[in-house]
Amino acid sequence: MNNDKPINESSRFVSTAINWYPGHMTKARRTMEEDLKLVDMILEIRDARAPLSSLNPDMAELGKNKRRLILLNKADLADQNLTEQWISRLSRDTTSAAATDARNTGSVKSVRKLLDEISAEKAKKDKARGIVNRPARIMVVGIPNVGKSTLINSLAGRASAKTGDKPGVTRGSQWIRLGRSIELLDTPGILWPKFEDPRVGIHLALIGSISDDVLPSEDLAAEGLVLLSKHYPEALTAKYGSLDEDPYRSLLLIAERNQLLKKGGAADSEKAAKRFLDDLRKGRLGRLTLDMPFD
């Protein structure tokens, strides 16, 4: 436990700066810079529960002049009202935004429709300049675990992109054809090089985009409990009964109430932390959003 060094209101228990930028991610940034020269637009996938924390930091800077479609994926797990607020906040000029659920056929069809509209727009401009039959080239980017592979697989209608089961697993860039008018460029996920605001790392860890080995689960769960007791207190009470103001004591209550016990019979707060994190990530606490559009 580490609750003696407050950093700010929403990161009281995780006091170490998360600086997780493996070597392969530096390489991925360079690859991305090269790849950007080849594409007409960017399809940026973020997690609807953390639309700001899951922003691809390199893309914000490297691709600032490209047309962009931001998809807030896993919208089925996020707070609907806040997702709508995020969409209107993110849409501007050459950037549009939409909510998606990559595991839902109807939702994927809507994404395809948006991409078809964009490619038709481009074909029209090309034609005016005498260029015909050139497909729209779209670079797909997103930090690990936002659902990029799932979406690409669903769009392509076959298992064309390997679906990774561990956050942080990356692949080399590859092209995927969607009909005759669109080519998707799948790029390896890139994580924030340095989490200047500790909340970014905490929110990403809470939604499962950072490996669980980076932060102690009890401290991370403590952060999550504090955050949820502020924004979604009813969800916590409905799932676990009434909890304590101290999140570590709450973990013991969750352990006792769910028979998560150590060998001698004492409440096991680590097991409770893991149960809470799993409940949060799988949507068993209801639909919720960690990044607030009004923060």
By CB under 6 A, name the binding residues for ligand G4P: 73-74, 76-77, 101-103, 142, 144-150, 163-165, 189
Quote the least distance from Cβ 76 to ligand G4P, whole Å.
5
Nearer to ligand G4P, 165 or 245 (CB): 165
C-alpha to C-alpha distance for 227 and 271, rounded to whole angstroms: 20
Token pair 């209101």 is found at: 9
Q: Classify residue 130 by burial, with Cβ atoms within 10 Å: 0-12, 13-18, 19+.
A: exposed
CA 161: distance to chain centroid? 18
Q: What minimum distance in Å lies between the beta carbon of 254 and ligand G4P?
A: 22
Cα 279 to Cα 105, 111, 176, 283, distances in angstroms: 25, 28, 34, 6
CA distance 91 to 265: 53
Strand order in the sheet with 67-73: 95-99, 67-73, 41-47, 136-141, 182-186, 174-178
Closest distance of CB 287 from ligand G4P, Å: 10
Q: With the C-alpha atoms ordered 262, 264, 267, 269, is the resulting torsion angle positive or negative?
A: negative
Given the complex with ligand G4P, which of 146 and 155 has the nearer CB atom? Answer: 146
Per the CB < 8 A criterion, the answer to whether 152 and 48 are in contact is: no
Query: Which residue lies nearer to ligand G4P by CB, 135 or 164?
Result: 164
* Smallest distance, ligand G4P to C-beta of residue 213, A: 16
Q: How, if at all, do strands 67-73 and 41-47 pair?
A: parallel
Structure tokens at 118: 């964009």
The nearest distance, CB 227 to ligand G4P, in angstroms, is 20
Instruction: Using CB positions, name the residue nearest to ligand G4P.
Output: 147
The smaller minimum CB distance to ligand G4P, of residues 78 and 90, is found at 78
Return the number of the residue (51 or 142) whose C-beta is nearest ligand G4P: 142
Residue 219 CB, nearest approach to ligand G4P (Å) = 23
Least CB distance from residue 41 to ligand G4P, whole Å? 19
216 or 283, CB closer to ligand G4P? Answer: 283
Q: Pick the closest to residue 61 from 190, 250, 213 (CA basis).
A: 190
- In terms of CB distance, is 73 or 269 closer to ligand G4P? 73
